[in-house]
Every structure is written in C-alpha cells, then in structure tokens.
Amino acid sequence: PPGSPPGIRGARPGTEARRAAPGGALVAGHPRGREASPAELARAEQLRADAEKYRARLADQLQEFEARREAEWQAAREQIEAELRDARGQLKRLRDEFRSVSLSRQWMEEAERRLAQVRDSVPQTMPGRPTPAPRPAAPAPEGPRPLQPGDTVLVRSVGLTGEIISIDDEDQTAEVQVGGFRMRAELSELTRQKQGDSKADGRRAASQRPTLPAVPDVSIEIDMRGWRAAEVPDRLDRYLNDAYLAGLPLVRIIHGKGTGALRQVVRDVLKGHKLVETFSGASAAEGGEGVTIARLAEQ
C-alpha cells in the first residue's frame, strides 16, 4: 500500500501477525498424536530395563535380609534351648543330690536303730563263762601315712569295719564299703586297721550286730520307668531279694506318674511280698506319686 516502509510492500495480509508471534504459529501448527521417535522408544526401553534391574536388586536384598534374620533367629533359639537344657540338668543334679542326702540320712537313722536293738538284745555276760574283758580301744593307725583307697578302716560313728573305696580331699570325706553297704563318712571318724585287726574286729562285732552277707553292691533305688507291666513282678522280686541280702533297710522305687498303671503293679507286688514290711508314696520333694518307698523286713 502507498506509504508503507520498504520491504513491507507486497506482503500478504496476516504476515505481520505471524511474524509477531512465530511461537504461537509453531504451536498452532504442531501435529497432535504423532508416533514416538526411535530415540524416544529407546530411551523408554532403557528406563524400563533400569526399573526392572532396580526391582530385582531390591528383591535380592529383601531375600538376603529375610535369610539373615531367619539365621539369627534360629541361632538365638538354639542358644536359648541349650541354656534351658543346661538349667534343667543343673536342677536335676540338685534334686538328685538332695535325694541322696535324704536317703543317706534315712539309712544312717535306720542303721543306728538296728544296732541299738541288737545291743539291747545281746546279754553282757553268758552263763557259765567268765565275764569278758572290756573291749579295747580302737586300734591306733599304722603310722603317719594318710588314709588311701584300699585301706581297711573302722568307722567309729557306727562301729563297723569296711574298706575305703574313694576319698574326697576337698570335703575330707571317704566312701567306705561296709558289707553290702556303701556309706560316706568324715576322715576324722575313720581309724586304719592293722593287718589282721579287721578279722578280729569282725568276730567281735558278729556277736553284737547282724552279719552282712557278701553280695554284689545293690543300689538303694531302682528306676523302672519304661518297663512293661508284665516284666515288673519278676525283676522287682529279684531286686528286693538282693536289697534284703545286702542289708538295705529301705529301697526307693521310681515308676513315674503317667497313667498310674505301673505304680499299681509295683504296689501290688510290694503288698504281697514277704520281705516288705511297709511301703508308701514318697514326699513331694522326693518324687511324690512317681516314687514308692518300701521298708524291708528286719533280718
């Protein structure tokens, strides 16, 4: 048009508007919904692969954590079970020691009672015989040598002669075999017998106490848990006979509680046995209804 600046003449209508806003014309002319380029597809695939690797790595770490936690839990459980087993073992040993002390005390009381009865029943003098000379004092030790296993000794507290089986230097006690018994006595109660004195002392004691037959060692208790009821009568009868021959005043029969069937069989045998005076259940501290204490007949 006339009067237009140079370079503007001849321009199409709307050219100025498009030049004033070239970005708007570009956006307005951008095609919508076009397909992604190969570069964009490759980038998307790379992102997907990276995400998959990250997910797999997290899964591996989670699995490793679970395995480590399971191993630590198992180790802690095994340690606790081991400590519980050790505690149960210590408790059982304490119970056994308490039971042993209790039975030893009962045995000593019974032995003292029997010896007192024998001493009271034997006359001090015999008709037609001179009055026996006073009994000499206990023989003096052979020498300064300390007592040791194998020595024949007199247990002064009960007036019996036996052989030392073992010595506990810490407690200053010794285990002594006296006939069919084994007893523990303090070393201060023991006097070593000279060669030949044990036989003479045995002959003197024979007139004042029952003779203890030389029989194999018999435990003061028998554990019958796990036995079949059918085998109880014969085996229990043999044990009672051996215990009687060994001079045991009483025995402790462990049959357990369970259904009570084994306990009933045991007590039926004891009820009709000629060597059993009385029997009863043990105290709660010594086993309760899982244990029966039988007192044997006097010899």
pLDDT, tens only, 228-263: 999 999 999 999 998 888 888 889 999 998 888 999
Query: Rounded to an integer, what distance in angstroms lies between the CA atom of residue 225 and that of residue 238?
Result: 17
Q: Which long-range contacts (CB under 8 A, 24 or more apart) does 157-166 make?
A: 157/185, 157/189, 158/108, 158/111, 158/112, 158/115, 158/183, 159/115, 159/205, 159/208, 159/209, 160/205, 160/209, 161/193, 161/198, 161/201, 161/202, 161/205, 164/190
pLDDT at position 184 is 79
Tokens of 94: 């304490």
Query: Rounded to an integer, what distance in angstroms lies between the CA atom of residue 259 and that of residue 251?
Result: 23
**Residues 6+ away with beta carbon under 8 Å from 136:** none
CATH architecture, range 213-299: 2-Layer Sandwich (3.30)
Reply yes or no on whether the pLDDT at 197 is more than 90.
Answer: no
Widest CA span in the chain: 184
Reply yes or no on whether the pLDDT at 268 is more than 70.
Answer: yes
Confidence at 26, pLDDT banded by 50, 70, 90: very low
**Is residue 103 within 8 Å of 220, Cβ to Cβ?**
yes
Query: Rounded to an integer, what distance in angstroms lies between the CA atom of residue 211 and that of residue 205?
Result: 9
**Is residue 154 within 8 Å of 161, Cβ to Cβ?**
yes
DSSP designation for 286: G
Strand duo 221-223 + 250-254: pairing: parallel
Query: Rounded to an integer, what distance in angstroms lies between the CA atom of residue 111 and that of residue 107?
Result: 6
* Mean pLDDT across 205-216: 45
145-212 belongs to CATH 3.90.1010.20? no
Arithmetic mean of pLDDT over the chain: 76
* Mean pLDDT across 277-290: 89
pLDDT at position 52 is 92
Query: Rounded to an integer, what distance in angstroms lies between the CA atom of residue 130 and that of residue 235?
Result: 50
Q: What is the pLDDT of residues 66-112, one digit of tens each?
A: 999 999 999 888 889 888 888 888 887 777 766 665 666 667 777 67
